C-alpha cells in the first residue's frame, strides 16, 4: 500500500486554528515545535518515558513524542504557551514560581500540564494522588518535593477561592 506523502490536518492549538499538511509519520511534538513554533514542548527521551513533551489533547495529558500529528486531527491542543492569560500566569504556573518548583525548567512544562490534568479530574488531591499523577514525569534536577508542594498549594488556593 502506498503511504501518502502528506496528509491534511486541522487542529486547534492554544485557541488558534491551524490547517495544513503533515507527513504521516511526523510526531505531534515535532509538528508543534517545528511547524508551529511551540518550543515549550520539550523533547527529552522521545520514547514516552520522561513526560517532558506532555501537552493537553482535548483536556487530557498526552506524550506528544509518541503521538502522531495526524492523530490530533480535529483535536484541541494546549501547550505550556497556552496556559497564561496575557501577563497573568496560570495558577499552577504561579504556584511553581512561588514554591521554587523549578530549577533548570526542562521538565516544568510537562509537570505543569500533568498537574493541570490532575486538578481538572481531581480538584482536591491528596499528596499521594499528586505524587502518583506526576510519577510519569521525570525531573533530572530531582526537585520533586517543591513540585508536589506547588501542586498542593495550587489545589488549596482553588479550594479557598471556592468557599462561599
Ligand atoms: S520526550 Fe516524550 S516522554 Fe520523554
Ligand atoms: S527542573 Fe530541571 S529537570 Fe526538572
Averaged pLDDT, 89-93: 97
Tell me, yes or no, whether 77 and 114 share the same domain: no
Residues with CB under 6 A from ligand 2: 102-108, 139-141, 143
Domain boundary among 82, 109, 141: 82
Tell me, yes or no, whether 76 and 99 share the same domain: no
Give distance in angstroms: CA of 104 to centre of ligand 2: 5
Between strands 7-13 and 76-78, the pairing is parallel
For residue range 105-130, list pLDDT tens digits in order.
Answer: 999 999 999 999 999 999 999 999 99
CB distance 53 to ligand 1 below 6 Å: yes
The CATH number of the domain where 149 resides is what?
1.10.150.120
2 within domain boundaries: no
Averaged pLDDT, 2-8: 87
Contact 18, 12 (CB under 8 A): yes
Distance in angstroms between the alpha carbons of the first and the last residue of the chain: 61
- Its domain, for residue 153, covers 91-162
Tell me, yes or no, whether 98 and 60 share the same domain: no
Share of the chain above pLDDT 70, in %: 98
For residue range 22-78, list pLDDT tens digits in order.
Answer: 999 999 999 999 999 999 999 999 999 999 999 999 999 999 999 999 999 999 999
Give distance in angstroms: CA of 161 to centre of ligand 1: 34
Smallest-distance ligand from the CA of 107: 2
Check residue 164 and give its pLDDT. Answer: 54
Number of domains in the chain: 2
Give distance in angstroms: CA of 48 to centre of ligand 1: 4
Check residue 3 and give its pLDDT. Answer: 73
1 within domain boundaries: no
Give distance in angstroms: CA of 98 to centre of ligand 1: 26
Tell me, yes or no, whether 19 and 77 share the same domain: yes
Domain boundary among 23, 53, 82: 82
Domain boundary among 82, 99, 116: 82
Amino acid at each position: 500500500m502506498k503511504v501518502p506523502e502528506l496528509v491534511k490536518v486541522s487542529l486547534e492549538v492554544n485557541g488558534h486554528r491551524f490547517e495544513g499538511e503533515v507527513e504521516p509519520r511526523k510526531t505531534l511534538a515535532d509538528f508543534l515545535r517545528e511547524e508551529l513554533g511551540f518550543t515549550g514542548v520539550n523533547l527529552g527521551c522521545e520514547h514516552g518515558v520522561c513526560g517532558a513533551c506532555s501537552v493537553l489533547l482535548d483536556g487530557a495529558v498526552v506524550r506528544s513524542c509518541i503521538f502522531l500529528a495526524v492523530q490530533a486531527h480535529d483535536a484541541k491542543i494546549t501547550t505550556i504557551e497556552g496556559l497564561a492569560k496575557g501577563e497573568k500566569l496560570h495558577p499552577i504556573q504561579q504556584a511553581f514560581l512561588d514554591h521554587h518548583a523549578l530549577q533548570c525548567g526542562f521538565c516544568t512544562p510537562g509537570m505543569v500540564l500533568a498537574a493541570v490534568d490532575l486538578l481538572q479530574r481531581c480538584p482536591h488531591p491528596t499528596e499521594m494522588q499528586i505524587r502518583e499523577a506526576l510519577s510519569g514525569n521525570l525531573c533530572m534536577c530531582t526537585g520533586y518535593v517543591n513540585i508536589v508542594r506547588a501542586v498542593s498549594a495550587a489545589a488549596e488556593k482553588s479550594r479557598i477561592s471556592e468557599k462561599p
